[in-house]
Amino acid sequence: MFRLNLKIALRNLWRNRGITAINVGGLAIALAAFILVTMYFTYETSFDKSNPNYKNVYVVGVSYPEFKTNYIAAPFAKAIKQTYPEVESVGLIKEGSFELTIKNGKNTLFTKNILAVDYNAAKILNIQPENGLTKPSGEVERLNYLSKESMQTLFPDKKDNKPEMVGYGASNSGITVVVAGSIRSNEHSNFVFDGISLAAELGEHDNYDMNDYSIFLKLKPNVNVANLEKKITDLYRYELLKNNTSKKSTAELKAISTFLDPLSNLHLRPKAGNDMPYKTLIALSVLGFLILVIACINFTNLSIAQAANRAKEVGVKKVMGAYRSQLTLQFLTEIFIQCFVATILALILAELVLPYFNNLFQVGLSIWQVDSDLIWQLPLILSLITLIAGIYPAMVLSGFKPALVLKGNFSTSKQNSWLRNGLLVFQFCIAVVFIIGLLIINSQLKYMRSQDVGFNSSQVVYIKNLTLFNNPVKFGSVSFNPVRDRLLKIPGIKSATVASFIPGGQNGINSYEVNASKANIDFVNVDFDYFETLDIKLKEGRFFLNTFKTDTINSAIINESAVAKYSIKNPVGQTIRGCGIDYKIVGVIKDFKTQGFESIVQPTIYTIKDPCGSYKTQILLKIEENKMADALAALKAQWPQINPKDGEDFRYEFLDELYGKLFKKQEQLQSVFFAAALLTIFIAILGLFAFAKYITNGRIKEIAVRKILGASDVQIFKLINSSFFIMVLIANVISWPIAYILTKKWLETFAYRIDLPAMPFVSSALITILLTVITVSIQAKKAVKANPVDALKYE
Amino acid sequence: MIRIENLEKVYKTEEVETTALNGINLHVKEGEFVSIMGPSGCGKSTLLNVMGLLDKPESGSYKFIDTELLTLNDRERSNFRKRNMGFVFQNFNLIDELTVFENIELPLIYNKIPTAERKKLVNEIIERMNIVNRSGHFPQQLSGGQQQRVAVARALVTKPKLVLADEPTGNLDSSHGNEVMELLCELNETGTTIVMVTHSSHDASFSNRIINLKDGHVISEKINKSRNEELI
Encode pLDDT of A260-314 as tens digits.
999 999 999 998 887 878 888 898 898 889 888 888 888 888 777 777 778 888 8
Q: To the nearest whole angstrom, how far is the Cα of A10 from the nearest Cα of chain B?
A: 9
Helix H or strand E segment including A21: helix A17-44
Q: How many CA atoms lie within 13 A of A140 on its CB side?
A: 16
- Asked whether B211 and B204 are in contact (CB, 8 A), the reply is no
Helix H or strand E segment including A725: helix A713-747
pLDDT exceeds cutoff 50 at A794: no
What are the chain A neighbours of B105 within 8 Å (beta carbons)? 4
- Residue B222, amino acid: K
Q: What is the DSSP string of B55-116?
A: S--SEEEEEETTEE-TT--HHHHHHHHHHHEEEE-TT----TTS-HHHHHHHHHHHTT--HH
Which of A7, A324, A406 is closest, CB to CB, to B93? A406
For residue A604, the cross-strand partners are A522
Read off the pLDDT band of A795 (50, 70, 90): very low
Whole-angstrom distance, CA of residue A609 vs CA of residue A555: 8
- Residue A738, amino acid: I
**pLDDT score of A772:** 92
Q: Which residue has better confidence, B207 or A599?
A: B207
Question: Taking CB atoms and an 8 Å limit, are A318 and B78 in contact across chains?
Answer: yes
**pLDDT score of A476:** 66
- Sign of the torsion angle spanned by Cα atoms A445, A447, A449, A454: negative
Q: How many Cβ contacts (< 8 angstroms) between chains A and B?
A: 68
Whole-angstrom distance, CA of residue B225 vs CA of residue B232: 10
The stretch A415-434 carries a mean pLDDT of 84
Query: What angle, 0 to 180 degrees and rounded to 10, lies between the N-to-C axes of helices B144-156 and B100-110?
Result: 20
Q: Which residue has better confidence, B129 or A646?
A: B129
Question: Taking CB atoms and an 8 Å limit, are A4 and B105 in contact across chains?
Answer: yes
Going from the C-alpha of B163 to that of each of A246, A484, A678, B13, B82, the distances in angstroms are 103, 108, 58, 31, 11
End-to-end C-alpha distance for chain B, whole angstroms: 21
Q: To the nearest whole angstrom, how far is the Cα of B126 from the nearest Cα of chain A?
A: 18
Q: Can you give A558-595 as a three-state secondary structure string? A: EEHHHHHHHCCCCCCCCEEEECCEEEEEEEEECCCCCC
Query: Given strand B85-88, what is the order of strands in its sheet?
Result: B85-88, B162-166, B193-197, B33-37, B209-214, B217-223
What are the chain B neighbours of A1 within 8 Å (beta carbons)? 109-110
**pLDDT score of A227:** 92
Which of B49, B90, B95 is closest, CB to CB, to A316? B95
Q: What is the DSSP string of A470-488?
A: -BS--TT---SHHHHHHHH
Residue B227 φ then ψ, to 5°: -70, -40
Is the bond preceding residue A65 a cis peptide, omega within 30 degrees? no
- Residue A86, amino acid: E
Whole-angstrom distance, CA of residue A565 vs CA of residue B86: 92
Q: How many CA atoms lie within 13 A of A545 on its CB side?
A: 7
**What domains lie within chain B, and their CATH numbers?**
2-231 (3.40.50.300)
Whole-angstrom distance, CA of residue A522 vs CA of residue A505: 12
Residue A681 φ then ψ, to 5°: -70, -35
The stretch A468-475 carries a mean pLDDT of 67
- Residue B69, amino acid: L
Q: What percentage of chain B has pLDDT greater than the value 70?
A: 97
Whole-angstrom distance, CA of residue A735 vs CA of residue A290: 14
Q: Which residue has better confidence, A257 or B230?
A: A257
Residues within 8 A of B (CB atoms), A 313-332 only: 313, 315-324
Decide: helix, strand or coil at residue A462: strand
Whole-angstrom distance, CA of residue B173 vs CA of residue A203: 104
Whole-angstrom distance, CA of residue B191 vs CA of residue B33: 10
A4 touches chain B (CB under 8 A): yes
**pLDDT score of A416:** 62
- Asked whether A462 and A658 are in contact (CB, 8 A), the reply is yes
What are the chain A neighbours of B83 within 8 Å (beta carbons)? 321
Chain A residue at shortest CA distance from B87: A319
Whole-angstrom distance, CA of residue A386 vs CA of residue A383: 5
Residues within 8 A of B (CB atoms), A 383-412 only: 401-403, 406-408
Going from the C-alpha of A660 to that of each of A280, A297, A458, the distances in angstroms are 20, 40, 11
Query: What angle, 0 to 180 degrees and rounded to 10, lies between the N-to-C axes of helices A17-44 and A324-361?
Result: 50
What are the chain B neighbours of A409 within 8 Å (beta carbons)? none
Enumerate chain B positions whose Cβ falls within 8 A of a Cβ in A. Answer: 45, 49, 52, 54-55, 74-75, 78-79, 81-83, 87, 89-91, 93-98, 102, 105-107, 109-111
- Per residue in A323-358, pLDDT (tens digit) is 888 888 888 888 888 899 999 999 999 999 999 988
- Residue A710, amino acid: G
A308 touches chain B (CB under 8 A): no
- Asked whether A683 and A294 are in contact (CB, 8 A), the reply is yes
Burial class (CB in 10 A: 0-12, 13-18, 19+), A768: buried
Question: Taking CB atoms and an 8 Å limit, are B97 and A7 in contact across chains?
Answer: yes
What are the chain A neighbours of B157 within 8 Å (beta carbons)? none
CA nearest to A523, candidates A585, A453, A465, A578: A578
Q: To the nearest whole angstrom, how far is the Cα of B52 from the nearest Cα of chain A?
A: 8
The stretch A547-569 carries a mean pLDDT of 89
pLDDT exceeds cutoff 80 at A1: no
Question: Taking CB atoms and an 8 Å limit, are B98 and A8 in contact across chains?
Answer: yes
Q: To the nearest whole angstrom, how far is the Cα of A408 from the nearest Cα of chain B?
A: 7
Q: To the nearest whole angstrom, how far is the Cα of B226 from the nearest Cα of chain A?
A: 32
Chain A residue at shortest CA distance from B47: A403
Decide: helix, strand or coil at residue A506: coil
End-to-end C-alpha distance for chain A, whole angstroms: 33
Q: To the nearest whole angstrom, how far is the Cα of A406 from the nearest Cα of chain B?
A: 7
Question: Taking CB atoms and an 8 Å limit, are A4 and B109 in contact across chains?
Answer: yes
**pLDDT score of A299:** 82
- Per residue in B121-163, pLDDT (tens digit) is 999 999 988 888 888 999 888 988 889 889 989 988 988 999 9
What are the chain B neighbours of A312 within 8 Å (beta carbons)? 93, 95-96
Decide: helix, strand or coil at residue B162: strand
Mean pLDDT comparison of A181-190, A305-314, A460-469, B190-199, highest-scoring range: B190-199
Question: Taking CB atoms and an 8 Å limit, are B102 and A403 in contact across chains?
Answer: no
Whole-angstrom distance, CA of residue A422 vs CA of residue A416: 10
The angle subtended at Cα A363 by Cα A358 and Cα A365, nearest 5°, is 70
What are the chain B neighbours of A319 within 8 Å (beta carbons)? 52, 54, 81, 87, 93
A320, A329, A397, A405, best to mutate vs chain B, most B CBs in 10 Å: A320
Question: Taking CB atoms and an 8 Å limit, are B98 and A312 in contact across chains?
Answer: no
All residues at 6 or more sequence positions from A2 whose CB lies less than 8 Å from its CB, including other chains: A333
pLDDT exceeds cutoff 60 at A415: no
What are the chain A neighbours of B82 within 8 Å (beta carbons)? 320-321
Question: Taking CB atoms and an 8 Å limit, are A12 and B94 in contact across chains?
Answer: no
Q: How many CA atoms lie within 13 A of B176 on its CB side?
A: 16
The angle subtended at Cα A682 by Cα A681 and Cα A687, nearest 5°, is 95
Whole-angstrom distance, CA of residue A543 vs CA of residue A527: 11
Residues within 8 A of B (CB atoms), A 103-122 only: none
Average model confidence (pLDDT) across chain B: 87
Q: Can you give A666-715 as a three-state secondary structure string? A: HHHHHHHHHHHHHHHHHHHHHHHHHHHHHHHHHCHHHHHHHHHCCCCHHH
Residue A22 φ then ψ, to 5°: -60, -45
Q: What is the DSSP string of A362-423?
A: T----S--TT-THHHHHHHHHHHHHHHHHHHHHHHHHT--HHHHTTS-----HHHHHHHHHH
Whole-angstrom distance, CA of residue A758 vs CA of residue A672: 22
CA nearest to A767, candidates A295, A434, A288: A434
- Per residue in B41-71, pLDDT (tens digit) is 888 888 998 998 888 888 999 999 888 998 9
Q: To the nearest whole angstrom, how far is the Cα of B93 from the nearest Cα of chain A?
A: 7
Question: Taking CB atoms and an 8 Å limit, are A408 and B94 in contact across chains?
Answer: no
Read off the pLDDT band of B232 (50, 70, 90): very low
Question: Taking CB atoms and an 8 Å limit, are B102 and A7 in contact across chains?
Answer: yes
- Per residue in A203-237, pLDDT (tens digit) is 888 888 778 899 999 999 888 999 999 999 999 99
Question: Taking CB atoms and an 8 Å limit, are A320 and B105 in contact across chains?
Answer: no
- Asked whether A507 and A602 are in contact (CB, 8 A), the reply is yes
All residues at 6 or more sequence positions from A522 whose CB lies less than 8 Å from its CB, including other chains: A507, A508, A509, A602, A603, A604, A605
- Is the complex ipTM higher than 0.95? no
In A64-84, which positions are buried (b, 16+ CB within 10 angstroms) versus exposed (e)? eeeebebebbbbbbbbbbeeb
Whole-angstrom distance, CA of residue A212 vs CA of residue A94: 7
- Sign of the torsion angle spanned by Cα atoms A521, A523, A528, A533: negative
Query: What angle, 0 to 180 degrees and rounded to 10, lies between the N-to-C axes of helices A276-305 and A17-44?
Result: 160
Question: Taking CB atoms and an 8 Å limit, are A312 and B95 in contact across chains?
Answer: yes
The stretch A129-135 carries a mean pLDDT of 86
Whole-angstrom distance, CA of residue A219 vs CA of residue A221: 6
Whole-angstrom distance, CA of residue A535 vs CA of residue A537: 6
What are the chain A neighbours of B54 within 8 Å (beta carbons)? 318-319, 401-403
Which of B87, B102, B109 is closest, CB to CB, to A319? B87
**pLDDT score of A502:** 87
Whole-angstrom distance, CA of residue A28 vs CA of residue A8: 23
